[in-house]
Structure 1
Amino acid sequence: MDPRLFTSLEWRCIGPHRGGRVVTVAGHPTELGTFYFGGCAGGVFKTTNGGSHWENVSDGYFNTAAVGAIAVSDSDPNVIYAGTGEACIRSNVSHGDGVYRSDDGGTTWRNIGLAPTRHISHVVIHPHDPDTVYVAALGHAWGPNPERGIYRSTNGGGSWDLVLHKSPRAGAADLTMDPRNPRVLYAALWQGRRFPHAAESGGEDSGIWRSLDGGTTWTDLTHNSGLPKGILGRIGLAASPARAGRVWAIVEAEDGAMFRSDDYGETWEKLSDDPDLRRRPWYYMHTIADPSDANTVWVMNLQCWRSLDAGKTFEAVPTPHGDNHALWIDPRNSLRMIQGNDGGACVTFDGARSWSTLLNQPTAQFYHVTTDNHVPYRVYGSQQDNWAMRIPSISFEGAISWKDYVEPGGGESGYIAVSPKAPHLVFGGGIGTGPGHGRLIAWNPETGQKRNVTVWPEVFGMGAGADTLKHRFQWTFPVEFSPHEENTLYVCSNVVHRSTDEGASWEVISTDLTRNDPEKLRPSGGPITADNSGAEIYCTIFAFRESPHERGVFWAGSDDGLIHISRDGGQNWQNVTPPGLPEWSMIGIIEPSPHDPATAYVSATAYKSDDPRPFLFKTNDYGASWTQITNGIPADEFTRVIREDPNRRGLLYCGTERGIHVSLDDGDSWSFMKTNLPITPIWDLVIKDTDMVAATHGRAFWILDDLTPLYQMQAENIPASVSSTGSSSGSGTGNVSDGVHLFAPRDTVRYKLYGRAYDPKTKTNINYKMTGPVTVGYKLVETPSGRRIERFYDAGQNPPEGVIIHYWLGTEPESVKLTILDSAGNEVRSYSNKKDEASAEAPSEGEVQETTAEEEVSSESTEPVEEKGPWAPAQVGMNRFIWDYRYAKPVKLERKPPKRGGGDEAEAAAPPRAVPGEYEVRLTVGQQTESQRFKILPDPRLPVTEADLKAQFDLKLGIRDRLSEAHECINRILKVRAQVEEWERRSPELKSSASSLKDRLNALEAELVNVDADKPRPGPNRIKEKLDTLGNMVDESDHAPTRGAQEVYEQLRSQLDDVRRRFDQLLQTEVKQFSERVQSLNVPAILV
């Protein structure tokens, strides 16, 4: 498919703005408010105000999302290096594609190689030369590879040399440089890897190495005096900037501890052996030396630890979240730091006494997503190393902020199931949220009670293996309600469990549906440290669904590569595993077709066996035969989820480690959906109504608000104007043509969204807005249609408040016109692509962008933003326009409005909103015209009648028309007065009569508008301000206007008619006489 077909599809992030895991941080050496962090699957974020607000700076440049290391050059802070692929190799770790470099402080980036390394633990830049850089490459997390060790570049990444390499099994877990002598480097090599069922840390290839010549040669220090004997595991290193020759090593070993050398690693002293410094070594083992105090050293682990006696003893330092990984300390001021943990990144300026918030970073990792049937619908998911979250798809307070968030039952890792018929039944799984293997929580949103209904609540210890368990539950075990029986709930371990009494009791309805391999059920970890958190439990059911068509037809997929089906309610199960699926693959999602009972789709991965290929399968006969359907998906992009759109048969979506692919032909071919969705792992998708909701594993929740263009692009329905009949790609969409096509807009519910911005909206970087009781920050961006929209830093985006209109332009047009008509064919509003013909009205507050192309409003000025647009976008390809339901604004007032804040002036009244009903949109491109019908639907939550809304509309329209009359009268007054003043200046004989006429004109103007609004003692509001205020009051909600509003309107109308009548009389008398006097002096007459 032509990628331009996707450009009008617009995603929005709804949050939560609650940070995800951060394993690397850095700071600007001289700009004290500027810091960076790398999200474990979210890219690079930057703050310029000390962590108050963060913004992603790598979107559009990075091809993978995981950032394992980031470093800012001390000699040229514009130079930044980011190593991709996280080196804290959890079971959900994401890989990278090498190193990226920025030469402009993170504004732009380019890839400079080392893609085969996949996971990078550290980047070190020479303190005096930004082009000399070292990279610690861990290598593949799931298997051996040769691209491991320490790489060096002396030309800024133009070329690389592997200067330290031990074996394909051991990569570089850490690298530190002596800032006093940059030729001195210390490296930690680590023999560690992941398996589908276990984590392994330690081996004969682990060790400590030193270079005294800038990395050209290396000496093995592993067996030097004082270091532990035997096998070593992961090691963290830190060279002291405050004392030459001093270096610390936190070592995983049988005799592990914190060690220190004061002679460049020749001999070592064992210091603290507190086990809290070495919990889960494969995940932590990060140590950082204070740049100015030779006796202060830090260790990041479950807690943040600091030693003030050179490593002999440690004290815990509070941080906003546990599971600490990274710390950068300003080399010029040790009080200034940035820290990274599983909850995000936080900044301190007082030496860790206080930290900035983590609640402003949209980097949450979600495993799955579901929605409910609330109006509007709500989104549920469990966040890695945090609690579950329920977020509304729409907030009626301008932005989706913390006031809208609710924590349901469950958390960290599990599925959440919401009964489609009984909304008080919400069940959430999550091993990571408390004791009890296979933890399951029943949450009642009405009472807030959270009841533990775990199937088998037996405590699981970190030292035990899965072979000790009665039932084996995976980290993300399935939880699902029956689509046929509202009280029937299923959860899965290695067998399928069913409850019909809200979890009070359970029955097993299957045999063991896994390979049940004893070799893969043993304790995880070793050969040094055991680690059985629950994420490594293997041979479990990972995917489960009951057919939406047939009661008792079950599909089950295991994490060890098996698929089973039962067609008799679980009494009998048949192994229907596709023959092309590698052994030990993980079945991620089974998707029974919503259109055909015999059809199902499967997404699977084998990356945990170091095989990154995509695996998607389709069956049309209940699993008797399968077809692999991965044509068009890159060979190294594994697939986590597949969904079929319930609104259109054969329209498939697939989530991969990088984004979303779409198929219009039932999987025969796939195309990458290149939209504004950032590159990030997609772990789950839900089609809700005509929206798509994505659970990302590093960038929170996202919603694509309108899928209807894809419905109309289906192979059998593809418009001839968009695609010709031939197809060179085999995608079923044909070749994009040079024609014009208007897509039918979806029927749209007319919600009323609130939220007030603090004025003025300036071109400064951050503006502020009230969203109910919460104030959020945003920046202004501008779309190709000229609308200004708010992009929030710390809140989720609302959907567009209006009708989304999509249209295709095959070539660059000379003229484009969009016209909205009511059911009777009367014009409601029109827009042109010609900016001098388009409306110069300001956009509605909070409106989201209409196309993926946007520009940030300049931050170089603090002047109020000039109002522009909207006009009809005219880009080649797909275009997106938002009609905000509004009729045209009043005639423009030529008088300069008073400044905001001066006096009791009123905001200009918004024009009336179209009432629910049928409408038509007409697209005219040159001589070609296309039209489509659509409906505006009433808000189903409101007890309001059609007559109520019509009465509101009629009054609003009347107010709009009276404002036009007032503006026209004022404009004419201004025009006449300007001419009078000009001839008064030119002809002294006219001074007396001109002064009298001006007094009469000024008096009339002062009755229409508050002419003293900007003065220290502003005058009272007049007819215009009162009409504006009345119009906004009537528009505040969807209800019939009050009797008082009608009466005030009639009074103002009468007053306006009186002023207009007296102005007309003035024109016919004094103005006419003055004009005749001017003519008698042989000068041009006054134009009225």
Structure 2
Amino acid sequence: GENFTLVSTKKELLDRPFYYCNIDANPQNANSIYVSATAYWHSTDAGNKWQRLPTPHGDNHGMWINPLDSNLFIQCNDGGANITLDGGKSWSSIENQSTAELYQVAVDDQFPYWLYAGQQDNTTIAVPSLPPHPAPGGPQSFWQEVGGCETGPAIPKPGNPNIVYSNCKGRFGVYDKITGQEKQYYIGATNIYGHNPKDLVFRFQRVSPIHVSPHNPDVIYMGSQYLHKTTNDGQSWEIISPDLTAFTPETQVISGGPITRDITGEEYYSTIYAIQESPVQEGLIWVGANDGPVHLTMDGGKNWQDVTPSSLPAQGRVQSIEASAHQPGKAFIAVYRYLLGDFKPYIYKTSDFGASWTLLTDGKNGIPNDFPTRVIREDPNQEGLLYAGTEFGMYISNNDGETWMPFQNNLPITPVTDIAIKNDDLILSTMGRGFWIMDDISTLRQLDDDDTKVVLFHPKPAFHQRYRNSSGGDIPEYPAPGMDIRYYLKNELKDLTLKIYNSDGICIRTYQNEEKEEKDKEEETDMQTGFRSQNSSTGLITTAGAHTLRWDLRYDLKKFGSDRGKRGPMVIPGQYRIELLDGFTTYRTNVEVKADPRILASGVTQEDLVAQEKLSLQVQQLHYDAKEFELYLNNQIKENDTALATEELKTIKAEITTNEGRYPTPMLIDQISYLYSMLDQADQAPGQDAIKRYSELREKLDSLKKRAGMPGNMD
């Protein structure tokens, strides 16, 4: 390193030094060099000449070269990671991995709800939390771009999810899902690229925040260095604050300085970065800047006060603000300072409108001292229950931030950029691993220090839904329809039983120890959707710890023999009781199954679903009776000595059992199965043909049983 020789002046190798420009050498050939930049470059003569290598995505950041085979290497970019086996001539796909870099998450109020975000170096994106309808192309065909661009945010309008307020690097737009058009209402209508920030009228950061008032869906806020407000979807804007940033002179310079000018207009300092209006007091608005200050107005912007925590080091990015849903004067902030070389976590709480603040992260109370914090959220139903997203995963607190616990489970170690709570689901956006949802966090609200040996938690209401949960790929990991029933065992138990009763007190489903259950997880395919599904949990886990049973909202299958792949009828919307029995004590909780609101809106009534359930149970019983009759015939044929009687029984059996072979004529048992399947396709009143067909099949079976001399039921 005493002497260097200039080998290349190719400017494309050094286009954005702060963002990438990494150099990697081939471990088997010192003259083979790679540069990761906006493009991906390769030199075979120690840097004199360069060839651009195509990659599946741009903005390249790094690579790993196999030390034993330099043609095999992994390359990463803003789209994900890709592998080559031939030195970069061809690559694996980036579409087979959940590596989306998401800046934030917002949710709408439709059913099922959708998730919205800006996705780094791609577009805004909206994805459903559950499959809204069949998709022959797989769940990815649901995904939508919703205006704006990679930075987001994309905020759906409350009450009208077809309208999305989107940002693209400070440019405000109103996207209409119906027309596919985005109306543009840029504040200031000025191209801010290439400017010294001190010369701009409005300074916008690339991820400029948009906030819709929780009190009025027509009131929208957006931040530059000022807080802007519109009540007509952006057609006109009002400035309702002074400059709410520190705006120190030393930071108002051209990015990169005099050597390498990099002034795209996306990394401006001294801009508003977080906005939240109190959900319990209209006009009480908290604002945080990306250079440190926190401000508060309690009169909708007429008067402002600087409420920055006195112990907060200067120039940190106020990454998120959480206005409490329980007290108007209570709020939380998460501040991010790792870009300043400070990896400490900074989460503060105030309960007196910012007059005083308490640091909730001292590096000793759960969140490590080198885990920068990106987001803080408060549980809307239970005060004191907090969720924190850090650079290296999730943490929770059940005592208002006095202590923190890791809450990682199967979540990848990845930056958590934002947190939302919807319908008792915990929703995360991550920088590099896409969206994640934890279903039913109501269990967290039921935790206490009671030393009970067995706890049956109260589940959140489940919706009476029909959909397939996968498309053959690994992403998304949609859960099967049903209800999660959670329980805790202090010690391992030998026997455990769970029973589900309907409102008439009739037991409709029973689960026992896992090893006692038939583990029939046969894959089922629906010809209409192409989605795959596995049967729900088949048994109870009895080891010590917390466990989840997935009830698929169906009756027990009344089966005779194996009946592989079949399942009981769906229950109707209504009230149910769950009982957990450990051999000594019975633990009870009541649960609710709600109707799919889309089904009710289509005109299907509760009476229709009751009729469907009734007929489905009748057909299931008919199938059981037919299988029982088949066994009776088999036994009689074996035991009967007279040839004449045997032939008659065989003739009867031929009318109920389908022959083997290719495309045989379906006989009675298969005809019953066909009718049962027909009744289980959708939420509906049974058709008259189905009702008539059931009567025909019942009469046919009863006639054959009489003809065979079967003496009543065998069970």
| Residues 293/977 of structure 1: CA separation in 2 closer, same or farther (3 Å cut) | farther
Render the CA deviation track for 1:785-827: whole Å, top value 9, x for unaligned.
xxxxxxx2xx212234112111111111121110000111111
**Under a length normalisation based on structure 2, what TM-score does the superposition of the two structures give?**
0.90
- TM-fit CA distance, 1:1042: 0.9
Which of 146, 155, 166 is residue 428 of structure 1 equivalent to?
166
Shift of 1:289: 6.9
C-alpha offsets along residues 1035-1076 of structure 1, whole Å, 9 cap, x if unaligned? 1100011111112221111222222223335x89xxxxxxxx
Cα distance in structure 2, aligned partners of 1:316 and 1:627: 53
Q: In the alignment, which of 806, 819, 827 is matched to residue 486 of structure 2?
A: 806
Taking structure 1 as reference, are residues 322 and 871 closer, same or farther at Cα in structure 2, changes over 3 Å only? same
Instruction: State how 1:55-134 maps to structure 2 within 5 Å.
Output: none
**Offset of 1:284 from its aligned partner?**
3.5
Partner of 2:227: 496
Asked whether 1:629 is paired with 2:343, we answer: no
Shift in CA distance, 517/833, structure 1 to aligned 2, threshold 3 Å:
same
Could you say which residue in structure 1 is the equivalent of 2:513?
833
In the superposition, relative to structure 1, how do residues 919 and 339 fare at CA in structure 2: closer, same or farther (>3 Å)?
same
- Distance in 1 separating the partners of 2:639 and 2:534: 28
Cα distance in 2 for partners of 1:677, 1:288 equals 31
3-state SS of 1:580 partner:
coil
Letter in 1 for 2:400: D
- Give runs of aligned pairs for residues 565-580 of structure 1, distance below 5 A: 565-580=296-311
Residues 569 and 346 (structure 1), Cα distance of their counterparts in 2 relative to 1, 3 Å cut: same
Deviation for aligned residue 1:583:
1.9
Q: How does 1:241-320 map to 2 (within 5 A)?
A: 259=7, 271=8, 273-286=9-22, 299-306=35-42, 313-320=49-56
Q: 2:530: which partner in 1?
A: none
> 1:529-678 to 2 correspondence within 5 Å?
529-630=260-361, 631-678=365-412
Structure 2 residue aligned with 1:796:
476
Tell me which residue corresponds to 2:587.
Answer: 930
Partner amino acid for 2:269?
A: Y
Counterpart of 2:227 in structure 1: which amino acid? V
Instruction: Tell me, yes or no, if the aligned pair for 1:840 and 1:867 is still in contact at 8 Å.
Output: no
Cα separation, 2, equivalents of 1:294 and 1:621: 63
Asked whether 1:357 is paired with 2:17, we answer no
Count residues in correspondence: 700
Letter aligned with residue 927 of structure 1: F
**TM-score, with structure 1 as normaliser:** 0.60
User: What is the CA–CA distance in structure 2 between the aligned matches of 1:642 and 1:869, rounded to whole Å?
Assistant: 34
Give the SS at the match of 1:686. strand
* Offset, 1:1021: 0.8
* Structure 1 position 913 matched with structure 2 position 570: yes
What residue number does 1:754 align with? Answer: 468
Match of 2:550 among 882, 900, 905: 882
Q: List per-residue Cα deviations over 1:830-888 (Å, max 9, x = no partner).
A: 1111623x3555478699xxxxxxxxxxxxxxxxx999961112231211111111111
Pick the aligned partner of 1:408 from 146, 157, 160.
Answer: 146
CA contact (8 A) 1:909 1:1027 kept: no
In structure 2, which of residues 649, 656, 666 is the aligned counterpart of residue 1021 of structure 1? 666
Tell me if the contact between 1:893 and 1:971 (Cα under 8 Å) persists in the aligned partners: no
Question: Quick one: distance in 1 between partners of 2:466 and 2:456?
Answer: 27
Deviates further, 328-337 or 480-489:
328-337
Structure 1 letter corresponding to 2:77: N
Structure of greater Rg: 1
Change (3 A) 1:835 1:846: farther
2:555 matches 1:891: no
- Can you list the C-alpha shifts for 1:594-621, whole angstroms capped at 9, x where unaligned? 1221211222233233222222222222
Q: Report matched runs for 1:717-728 at 5 Å.
A: 718=448, 723-724=449-450
Structure 2 residue 338 is matched with structure 1 residue 690: no
* Cα distance change on mapping 1:845 and 1:702 into 2, 3 Å: farther
Bigger drift between 597-606 and 422-431 goes to 422-431
Cα gap change, 1:951 to 1:476, in 2 (>3 Å): same
Q: Which residue of 1 aligns with 2:209?
A: 478
Q: CA deviation at 1:394?
A: 0.7
2:242 alignment partner, SS class: coil
Distance 1:607 1:281, change over 3 A: closer
Structure 1 partner of 2:171: 439
Q: Offset at 1:430?
A: 2.8
SS of residue in 2 equivalent to 1:381: strand
In the alignment, residue 539 of structure 2 is paired with which amino acid? W
Comparing 937-946 with 866-875, greater Cα deviation is found at 866-875
Call closer, same or farther: CA 1:975–1:339 in 2, change over 3 Å.
farther
Give the deviation of 1:398 after TM superposition: 7.2
Asked if structure 2 preserves the Cα contact closer than 8 Å seen for 1:841 and 1:889, the reply is: no
Percent of aligned pairs with the same amino acid? 36
* 1:294–1:548 Cα change, 3 Å: closer
Cα distance between partner residues in 1 of 2:278 and 2:347: 19
Corresponding residue of 2:703 = 1058
CA contact (8 A) 2:480 2:536 kept: no
Amino acid at match of 1:457: A
- Cα separation, 2, equivalents of 1:874 and 1:920: 21
Match of 1:967 among 580, 602, 627: 627
Preserved CA contact (<8 Å) 1:891 1:968: no
Residues 288/879 of structure 1: CA separation in 2 closer, same or farther (3 Å cut): closer
Query: Is 1:1043 matched with 2:688?
Result: yes
What is the root-mean-square deviation of aligned Cα atoms in Å?
Answer: 3.1
SS at match of 2:429: strand
SS in 2 for 1:941: helix
Query: Mean alpha-carbon deviation: is it higher for 644-653 or for 606-615?
Result: 606-615
Superposition deviation, residue 295 in structure 1: 8.8
Residue segments in structure 2 that go unaligned for 5+ positions in a row: 527-532
Aligned equivalents of 1:606 and 1:275: distance in 2? 31
The equivalent residue for 1:266 is: none
Q: CA deviation at 1:333?
A: 8.3
Using the TM superposition, give the Cα deviation of residue 452 of structure 1 relative to its aligned residue in structure 2, in angstroms.
Answer: 2.5
Change (3 A) 1:994 1:280: farther
Q: Which amino acid aligns with 2:177?
A: P
Q: State the alpha-carbon separation in 2 of the partners of residues 1036 and 822 from structure 1.
A: 22
Shift of the 876–421 alpha-carbon distance from structure 1 to 2, 3 Å rule, reads same
**CA distance in 1: counterparts of 2:384 and 2:535, whole angstroms:** 44
- Aligned counterpart, 2:653: 1005
Write the distance in 1 (CA, Å) between the matches of 2:627 and 2:377: 55
Query: What's the CA shift for 1:304?
Result: 3.0
CA distance in 1, matches of 2:369, 2:31: 51
Change (3 A) 1:593 1:870: same
Name structure 1 gaps, 5 residues minimum.
1-219, 229-258, 260-270, 432-437, 725-736, 756-768, 778-791, 848-864, 898-906, 981-992, 1069-1086
Which residue among 797, 817, 830 is the counterpart of 2:497?
Answer: 817
